[in-house]
Every structure is written in structure tokens, then in C-alpha cells.
Amino acid sequence: MNTVDRFLKYVSFCTTSDEQTHLTPSTPGQMEFARYLADELREIGMQDVSLDTNGYITATLPANVDGQPTIGFIAHMDTAPDASGKHIKPRIVSNYDGRDIVLNEAEQIVMETSKFPELLGYVGQDLIVTDGKTLLGADDKAGICEIVSACEYLIQHPEIKHGTIRVGFTPDEEIGQGADHFDVQRFGADFAYTMDGGAIGELEYENFNAASCTIRVHGVNVHPGKAYHKMVNSMRIAFQIAVMLPRWETPEHTQNYEGFYHLIGMQGTVEETTLTYIIRDHDRARFESRKRELEHLVRKVNREYGEGTAEIVLRDQYYNMREMIEPVMHVVERVEQAMLAVGVKPKVQPIRGGTDGARLSFEGLPCPNIFAGGENFHSRYEYLPILSMQKAIEVILKIVQIA
């Protein structure tokens, strides 16, 4: 199967994750996809293929030369719940001409270059796009496709010398649970790479420190005609908390190393309202300060409206892997060398997000992040340049050959 057909097959599986199910994997489509992948890995000749009850896949390509480290490649099977991943209808835009791309003529959904200027960097290339109703799933099915395709190529070309290669595919990365049941010791790699980055050339070993925050506000509901000094409207108090946070410290107003508070959910009635936030910052001290600020706002509300009016639950999700990678920078230098060897300019930059590799690095498996090639992840405007996917495969092949 060629690389494009493989990717198109992968995105036919609906693997949207869902943090509300409290299951692993969180949705049945992920296990369906995992079974397909496990069978495919066996068919192409991978060894020790394992699929556990939590939906984690591991496999081995044995070494054909001695004295090399065991290198891992990891990608995740789920797609983000931010946009639908059901009934994806991809199509290929051949020889992109640099103009706006009409994704869905009937519904007038257009990917405009004025809003997505990165498109202009792919003039003349073939792009895989959506029909404007779903995401594409290149995050991270492109990464899986690249790893499987590279392993298949190595199996078909035994003259290429390499050490032992370990492959791992995880569920539920998009809801922060991808590393929950990943057995680093059993995986047995000296170091690894997540193929989970964006545009061609991206190489990342810094990521956000991340936490989730749930604030529940309790109110009192009575008939509005007799509410004087009796009603406590939880929604209004929740809005008060939201507007007390710095207006400009949100995702749409921050970039590079700037952190943020991000309100991702609000559900409420007069009697009870829930605010759901994610907190992000590259700097550990500022990260801790952001959590303390939310706790301070909850205490402030409770002083005004009475103890117990608002409750807060904070949960750390992952930390900046930089402190774990810097002592072993050779794992980053190997990728830079591989990229340059295949004609890709490395773009070393911080991740404004996270990967499974962040947590795995803290568990003893150094795990920088390499581009998978897609753009506009988590969006109906997601697209994948085919050349970027092919170059990612070449980077994998070169990484395992570098002695």
C-alpha cells in the first residue's frame, strides 16, 4: 500500500477521544483502529506485535547490525474532540495554485489564504484537505502512517543497516491520557521520538507545563418575582470569576513562550455552573503562579458570597520536557542531522501544547517531537501536504541509520 492510500485508510476510522467516558481507550473506534493497525504491522513483517486491553500497540523491527541504540517511534491514534472526526471525506488538491481552496461549495466553506497564509508555502504541491465538515486526522494519523511506512521500507530493504526499532501507538493523547498506561520499561528503547509535530521541519523538545481546572459554583434558585436577597445566581458568579482573569492572557492573544488561561467549557443553571479551564505556561514558576491565581479568585468569591459557594479542582497534566532532554541533547542533534541530510531545514521551537513524549520523558524515556507534516490541526481547515509526509518518512529512515 502506498503512503497516501495508507493515510486515507487510517482517517476512515472515527477515533475521536472523549474524556467524559473515563474509559481507556475512551471511545470504541480507537480500539477498532488499533486492531486494524496491529494486523497491518504483522502483515508487513514487524515482530513482537502486541495490543493490550487498554488499546496500546507496541511492535519491534529487530536490528540487522550490532552496536546501535534501540530507538522508539511513537504516535497517537485518537483525534481531538474539538471538531468532528466522523465520516471524514478527504480529497487531494493537486498542484496547489496558491488561491483560496473551496472545501465545500454547497455550504460555502472556504480556506482563505488571507486567514491561513501558510498555504502559500505549498504552492505547486499536492495537499490532502477535508470537505469542511470535519477535521482531517493528520494529527496524528499522519505520524502513524509515516512510522508504519518507514518500517515497511526497512523490511523491504534489508541492505539498510539499523539498530533495533520499537514502535508504539497510544490512545487518548488528545485528552491528556496517552501516556497513562504506557510501559516505558517494557518498551525498552534508549530514547524515542513522537511523530506528532506540525509543519515540515518542526523539531521540539520544549512544551507547556499543563494543568486542568474545574470550578463549580453553587447558587440558590427561587422565583424571580420573590428573589430579593434570596436568589444566588451561579452563572453570574461564574462570569465574575471569568472576567477577573487577565483579558490578554488567552490563547488568541499569546504566542511563543507566553502562557495562558483557556476557558474551554461552561455549563450552568441558576443553581450550579461549571467552568472548565486549561492552564499553560513554559516556565514552571509562572505555571504554579497561574494555578495559585485561580485558587485566589475562588477564595475571593467565597468571601463575598459565603464559604462553599465555589469549589476548585486542579490537576497537573504534564510538564516541560526540556529539563529532561537537555542532559541528552544528542537525541535532538541526531534529528537535526537527519533532517539536513534529506533536505529539510530544522525549525527548533517550543511546542505550544504537549505530546505523549512530555510525560514519557519524565518517566525515563527521552522523547522529542518531530513534524508529522499537517497544518491547522483540530480544525475543519486541517490539511496535509503529501511531500511533507514523504519527507517525514525520509527523516525516520535517516535517524535510524545515523551511527
Q: 209-317: which CATH architecture? A: 2-Layer Sandwich (3.30)
Least confident of 124-128, 334-338, 357-361: 357-361
Instruction: Determine the average pLDDT of the residues in 193-216.
Output: 96
Q: What is the pLDDT at residue 325?
A: 97
- Measured distance CA(169)–CA(55) in Å, rounded: 9
Using an 8 Å Cβ cutoff, are 294 and 312 in contact? yes
Q: What is the pLDDT at residue 111?
A: 98
Question: In this structure, what C-alpha cell is assigned to residue 362?
Answer: 519524565
Q: What is the pLDDT at residue 399?
A: 98
Q: What is the pLDDT at residue 92?
A: 98
Confidence of residue 360 (pLDDT cuts 50, 70, 90): very high
Q: Which residues are catalytic?
A: 78, 173
- Percent of the chain whose predicted confidence (pLDDT) is above 70: 100
- DSSP secondary structure letter of residue 227: -
Instruction: Determine the average pLDDT of the residues in 94-112.
Output: 97
Residue ranges covered by each domain of the chain: 3-207+320-401, 209-317
Confidence of residue 354 (pLDDT cuts 50, 70, 90): confident
pLDDT in tens, 131-146: 999 999 999 999 999 9
Is there a common fold for 3-207+320-401 and 209-317?
no
Q: What is the pLDDT at residue 384?
A: 98
Buried/exposed code over 58-85 (b: 16+ C-beta within 10 A; e: otherwise): bbbbebeeeebbbbbbbbbbbbbbebeb
Confidence of residue 353 (pLDDT cuts 50, 70, 90): confident
Secondary structure (3-state) at 326: helix
pLDDT in tens, 248-277: 999 999 999 999 999 999 999 999 999 999
Q: What is the pLDDT at residue 1?
A: 85
* CA–CA distances in Å: residue 77 to residues 83, 119, 169, 224, 386: 15, 26, 6, 49, 19
Using an 8 Å Cβ cutoff, are 258 and 207 in contact? no
Instruction: Determine the average pLDDT of the residues in 180-191.
Output: 97
Residue that wins the pLDDT comparison between 231 and 19 = 231
CATH code of the region 3-207+320-401: 3.40.630.10
- Measured distance CA(356)–CA(360) in Å, rounded: 6
Query: Which residues on neighbouring strands pair with residue 193, listed in sequence order?
Result: 73
Asked whether the predicted pLDDT for residue 296 surpasses 90, the reply is yes
pTM over 0.85: yes
